[in-house]
Amino acid sequence: MPPIITSRILIMSTRLKTKIKIQCFSIDRMKLLFAAILLFGFVPEIRSQNISFFREKIKIIVQDSVCTVEGTYYFKNDSGEKIRKPLLYPFFVNDSMPCPEQAEVINFFDNKQIPFIKAKNAVSFHITLAPKSIAAYKVIYKQKTPFKMMRYILTTTKRWGRPFQIAEYEIQIPKKLKLIRSTINNLSKTVSGRWKKYYIRLEDFMPQKDLVIRWRRQNR
């Protein structure tokens, strides 16, 4: 049974605990996709599978040299049958952004942890949808950002063949830091305590580029 791809991809097959350390290797996304095709028989045609990936909510918490990503992903089963599919979730990894050391997957509606499989620069887990239903899954991971830059993969959303009905993006950054770049524009800004929050809610959104943010120390 071929795996599904969200805004991402994966490989490998060793079942681990729901919260694990992840070993990563430097490998570009095309090689990763090719490996997924070889090992899983991945077929990039999603639209015929009666599953739509229609909403996501992403929060990136910047703590200078480390970022925490909390992503909630919503899926709809338009068929009259139960569907269970493996979903592949990669991380952006290069010399300036090493692989996350830990990850956690949670069923958003019942708050139960979901077992997953580790891979090179990615994790994989099953999504289950009852007939004519909606399911949501939350992925949380921490990634070192020693060069004050974070990249979150968005562009592979196109593989689903349709835009997000709703997409929400939030960046939280300490007041001592200054956000100097975001590839998503027109973010609203609020300040609360020690934190600055940048936020946007988009409808009918098809990402054309990944979300990249950069920051530096705030000048006094």
Secondary structure in 3-state letters for 16-49: CCCEEECCCCCCCHHHHHHHHHHHHCCCCCCHHH
More confident site: 12 or 129: 129
Q: What is the pLDDT of residue 139?
A: 96
Half-sphere exposure of 123 (CA within 13 A, CB side): 26
More confident site: 45 or 182: 182
Count of beta carbons in the 10 Å neighbourhood of residue 196: 20
- Residues 71-95 have a mean pLDDT of 93
CA distance 52 to 62: 30
Q: Which residues pair with 159 in a beta bridge?
A: none
How would DSSP label each residue in the chain?
A: -PPEESS------EE--SEEE-------HHHHHHHHHHHH------GGGTEEEEEEEEEEEE-SSEEEEEEEEEEEE-SSS-EEEEEEEE---BTTBPPPSEEEEEETTTTEE---EEETTEEEEEEEE-TT-EEEEEEEEEEE-TTSEEEE--GGGGGGSS-EEEEEEEEEEETTEEEEEESS---EEEEETTEEEEEEEEEEE--SS-EEEEEEEPP-
Looking at the chain, the whole-number percentage of residues with pLDDT higher than 70 is: 77
Structural domain that includes position 121: 4-217
Among 12-16, 60-64, 172-176, name the one with the lowest average pLDDT.
12-16
Q: What is the pLDDT of residue 160?
A: 86
Query: Highest-confidence range of 26-30, 160-164, 204-208, by mean pLDDT?
Result: 204-208
pLDDT band at 220 (very low <50, low <70, confident <90, very high): low
On the question of pLDDT at 22 being above 80, the answer is no
Q: What is the pLDDT of residue 167?
A: 98
Total domain count for the chain? 1
pLDDT band at 45 (very low <50, low <70, confident <90, very high): very low
Structure tokens at 26: 């430097």
pTM, two decimal places: 0.80
Which amino acid is present at 214? R
On the question of pLDDT at 14 being above 60, the answer is no
pLDDT band at 24 (very low <50, low <70, confident <90, very high): low
Q: What is the pLDDT of residue 148?
A: 95
Strand order in the sheet with 211-217: 149-152, 211-217, 177-182
CB 35 within 8 A of CB 11: yes
On the question of pLDDT at 103 being above 50, the answer is yes
Count of beta carbons in the 10 Å neighbourhood of residue 94: 13
Q: What is the pLDDT of residue 16?
A: 36
pLDDT band at 120 (very low <50, low <70, confident <90, very high): confident
CB 54 within 8 A of CB 165: yes
Q: What is the CATH number of the domain that holds 122?
A: 2.60.40.3680
